Structure 1
């Protein structure tokens, strides 16, 4: 009985313990499942579906590979918002950093009166010390170079070094500028001193930009001071047109052009905006004068500062002329002075009117003919023409004559000065008219010529300007790149050939046309580095062929120089028979191998900044090159010996004549 009394309570306690243990186990299973599911759902909702969840009791394990450190931290935060963060165990990995995309490297260089600032993100390989030393060399002692660059440890992208180097060279010529640099791209925004300076800098930058770098330019210049401030509108049998147009504001320009459009003018007028206007009512005065010309049915009106010259057509009704002139005088602002002229019909005479003419050819040759009043005036005209066009280019055949009108010398000299604005053209001076015609590459030539004539010929003088702007003559637009020039030379020559007299370096008569065409093209190309190469066939001695090819290339250079082509950057080289393009065993092949070629001398490609090892290798190469240059006199002696052998071997050169025909 006593044993049963102890057994029953023990059994009851054991059963209760088993029940509690079972309840605890099943409760733990429920908590683990709920925690796993809740955390997993929260991660999916937050976009962190790369993370996996595991549980062990109350502990929640996060497993998986995070794309970056920020994603790993975000997953821990999301899990900690569902369960107690102390229960969250981090067992995640982070993706390898090498797979991360490099940042976009860019740099801005600002230069002004205070100095230079450079800001941006650059590759860690960039030699900042070298860059800053280069920038420091551009500033004065009182100016500073502010370094605001940051670095990222990534390889520099292709085109970065070339763009940075070009930006540094461009900055030297631009004291007020902002240059933006990225891999293979340079954008330059700058203020220049004048319009002429802007054109020169733009042209130079476009020619210097290296291959693989895209350049965009935004260059501006202050408005020029126009002296005299000129406006000239003409209506004749050719229709209404502007010989010159200037305005102080865009509103004044629009008012002038609208008045011209009402008078029948069509097309675009190059109406310059500038400083120096004699009155703020310039646009109003110009529009009134153009309307007066329209009402007269034709003629011209010329503004030279505040002087206004109105010239009616011959035969205009006197009453209409008086009415229009009176209304214009009353309407013009007070500062303007009007001089109106109604031409009288010319009187018939037995002799023709006196005349002076000057012609300027496309090659630059100038001829002066006609009448001039004194020996001194003729010498002055000859001297002025030689100063404008070159002493060797002027031929004077003008004769001294008596009875010429007053001011004849002034009209002649002013006309010659106006002819200097043209690439080619003609001047004609008569007692009634000064006429300038021709072609130019200057968009402002009409306005500049009109300003010159109106200022020096005085009120009431009649003149005509028939000047055509040609884009191919424009130093801004007409000059092709060196690469385009090289291609255009090949295209221009085509199937033609620069030929020589047999066995000689003298150009034969058939080469004249092709040399003229080449000269015209190369004048447009400007001062480009060009190698004129001479080649021969394999007949004859090698040294003789080399000398002959060199002499022929030199003859081509001399012919271009005689045609006023800039050849200071040209060089000649004779390759002899070393570079055939056809089989020398056939007559056709030998004929093809005898040739002149034009090759662009290209600069060395921009190299990436060298490592220490590359610098050592480069210095070794330069030392070897210096050693090779020291051997130059010996090579010259060999060339001299070849020339001497050629002089002695007269029969050998004669033997080449058949092959060189």
Structure 2
């Protein structure tokens, strides 16, 4: 009985345990599902779709790759809000961070009358001391302010060429801002004149390295135009400007558009300048050009606010009056108009105009520089004044005067003569014709602004209504070819630089001192015109230390200079480096001063192999010609001797024939004997030096 009761108790406990385990398993499964569902929901709401959640009993395992550490911590925090943080197992990874990118290196260089300033970020490897020395040399006595910061990162590609070019450009531009970045240079500068701006633009664009992108903006102050002049002509060949001035870009565009509509031939431009008499200058000019077009020809002249309109000969009076009236109404208030309708010249019935007898003054300037003056002047005093004025204006020309005096010349004749000569001085060759009704200037010039300058001179001194004819042709002058220096001049120029500032090295080293880089920069400039000259870079030391050590050190130093020039884009095909050690002193090694002089770099001319071969060939040719001449002389002497013997034989008796024959045999026998005589050596005879090849030097 007791045994069965025990079994029943055990069975009851087993059933109860089984039920408890089942209930616990159900409970754990429910907790797992609930925890995973809640955590997944939070991750989706938080945008953490990269994370995976797995629940094992009461433990929650998180896995996946987080984009950064902050996002990983966010996932842990969200899971910790659902279950106890101690039950969260972190199996997540974090994406490897991108390598730190190097900074963007750049420099802003400002230069003005106060000095030079630098601001920006540069690589640590840049030799700031050498740059500072060069900038101080450019600035002169002005101050150099260095506000640069540096970073220890590799020098980016294109930084060196851009930096070198910017410093070269800065030396040309006293008022400028230069922005430098790897492979790019931006220059903003102010020039003194338009001509200087053109020259600077050409030079800077020609020198920019291929690896550098250049942005160039050079401005020039506008010139003061006095008087503010414009002259427009129209004839059967179309319209043209003798002079054109404007004060704004918009005004210039309007004037040129009006001229094109009126029949302008070819291209034209207007000079932008200061001194305009009225802001409404374009309105006045376009109205005047329109009037010329309506008259189908004529001449329009502006000299400040004075306007002159000359109609073509034969223009209908009614048309002339209508056009002039409308132009007067269209001109702004400050402008005054003088309109002229020329009358046809009278004819004497024989085809000759009455004007053929009018006085005139003529000046001709030849291309050779001969100025001839002829025609009429008022009196002897004016004749002397005209010749003196001509010699002053044409200082390089020979002046010859054959002028005649006349008392009945028109009023203002002398002023017309002097104004015409001043206008003629703008030509390289040409002629001036002064007549009572007209002044004509024609010829050639190498100044593109000569036509406008002539119109300005005559309009200012004779008035806008003066009848002027300008026929000037511009011929562009070809720039002379640059003459390259001789090899000797190249070597002398480089050694002069070294004499002023030696190339120095760290003690016992081939590392060039930073202070010597200025000398190397100057040598590189000289080498631009001397790349074809074969030169040797010689390294020399003092006698301190072992001879073999000094020889090796001098070789390394010479090679260091060669490499420094190569780094400055110098073509080094014709340069060789050789160390001489202590074998060629130029001063006493017994004193510190002497040893300092002996420690040096020297440039010398080097004979190329083809030059030596050519010299050897010339010597051999000369020697062969000398031998040929000597042989010819010997043959001639032998021939003369043979002829003399023949004559003697003919005159001798027959019994002497055998004796002569025996004697001849003896001579032949002696000639057949070998010649063992040694010729003396001439101590003054030049010898050809052995050729030293680059590989021999290297060995």
Q: TM-score range, shorter-chain basis?
A: 0.5 to 0.7
- Asked whether 1:77 is paired with 2:85, we answer no
**DSSP 3-state at the match of 1:205:** helix
Cα deviation, 1:125-172, whole Å, max 9, x if unaligned, reads 445676677668878999894837574x54222111221233344345
Report the counterpart of residue 394 of structure 2 in structure 1.
385
Maintained 8 Å contact 2:421/2:432: no
Contact 2:123–2:153, Cα closer than 8 Å, also in 1 = yes
Contact 2:426-2:450 at 8 Å conserved across structures: no
* Residue 380 (structure 2) aligns with: none
C-alpha distance in 1, partners of 2:531/2:27?
Answer: 102
- 1:254-653 alignment, distance < 5 Å: 254-265=253-264, 268-316=267-315, 332-343=331-342, 345=345, 346-347=353-354, 349=356, 355-360=362-367, 365-369=368-372, 371=374, 374=383, 377-378=386-387, 380-386=389-395, 391=396, 394=397, 396=399, 399-403=402-406, 406-407=413-414, 409-419=417-427, 426-431=430-435, 432-438=438-444, 440=446, 442=448, 444-467=449-472, 520=478, 522-523=479-480, 528=482, 530=484, 607=568, 626-629=600-603
Deviations 1:15-58 (A, max 9, x none): 35543564466567757976997799789x6685xx88777763
- The Cα of 1:434 is off from its aligned counterpart by 2.1
Q: Which runs of 5+ in 2 are unaligned?
A: 346-352, 378-382, 488-527, 535-563, 570-577, 582-595, 629-699
Give secondary structure in 2 for the equivalent of 1:187.
strand
**How far is 1:276 from its partner?**
0.7
**For this pair of structures, how many residues does the alignment match?**
498
Instruction: Answer yes or no: is 1:147 the counterpart of 2:147.
Output: yes
Contact 2:361 2:417 in 1 (8 A): no
Moved more, 174-183 or 130-139: 130-139
Q: Secondary structure at the match of 1:355?
A: strand
Contact 1:532 1:572 in 2 (8 A): no
Change (3 A) 1:27 1:466: farther
CA contact (8 A) 1:38 1:82 kept: no
3-state SS of the aligned residue for 1:219? strand
Relative to structure 1, is the Cα distance of residues 33 and 327 closer, same or farther in structure 2, using a 3 angstrom cutoff?
closer
Distance 2:358 2:338 in 1: 31
**Residues 98-131 of structure 1, C-alpha deviation per residue, up to 9 Å, x if partnerless?**
5x66555444445679987756554454456766
Return 155-164 or 15-24, whichever deviates more: 15-24
Quick one: higher RCO (CA 8 Å, sep 6+), 1 or 2?
A: 1
Q: Tell me the TM-score normalised to structure 1 length.
A: 0.59
* Partner SS state of residue 212, structure 1: coil
Give the whole-Å Cα distance in 1 for the aligned partners of 2:15 and 2:115.
95
Q: 1:325-379: per-residue Cα shift (whole Å, max 9, x none)? A: 566567644544444445563525579965322244xxxx434345265355345
Q: Offset at 1:198?
A: 2.9
Distance across 1 between alignment mates of 2:132 and 2:91: 46
Find the aligned partners of 1:357 and 1:650 in 2 and give their Cα distance. 62
Question: Counterparts of 1:116 and 1:411 in 2: how far apart (Å)?
Answer: 48
Aligned to 2:540: none
Give deviations 1:231-270, integer Å, cap 9, x for gaps.
Answer: 1111123212221111234454455445434533365431
Largest Rg, 1 or 2: 2
Return the alpha-carbon distance in structure 2 between the equivalents of residues 60 and 417 of structure 1.
99
Quote the residue 2:584 is aligned against: none
CA deviations over 1:75-107 (Å, ceiling 9, x no partner): 543565466595362653654855x66555444
Closer, same or farther in 2 for the Cα pair 1:604/1:143, shift >3 Å?
closer
> Distance between the aligned counterparts of 1:201 and 1:453, measured in 2?
33
Supply the distance in 1 between the matched residues of 2:164 and 2:373 (Cα, whole angstroms).
58
8 A Cα contact 2:284 2:332, kept in partner:
yes
- Is the alpha carbon distance of 1:313 and 1:106 closer, same or farther for their aligned partners in structure 2, counting shifts above 3 Å? same
TM-score calculated relative to the size of structure 2: 0.56
Question: Is residue 529–residue 570 contact of structure 1 (8 Å, CA) maintained in 2?
Answer: no
Tell me the residue number matched to 1:234.
233
Structure 1 spans left out of the alignment, 5+ residues: 474-519, 534-568, 576-602, 609-616, 656-661
Matches of 2:179 and 2:94, distance apart in 1:
40
User: Equivalent residue for 1:92?
Assistant: 93
2-side partners of 1:269 and 1:136: how far apart?
45
Q: Contact conserved, 2:54 with 2:61, CA < 8 A, in 1? A: yes
Residues 1:53 and 1:440: Cα distance change in structure 2 (over 3 Å): farther
SS of equivalent to 1:225: coil
Q: SS in structure 2 opposite 1:180? A: strand
Cα distance, 1:217 vs structure 2: 1.0
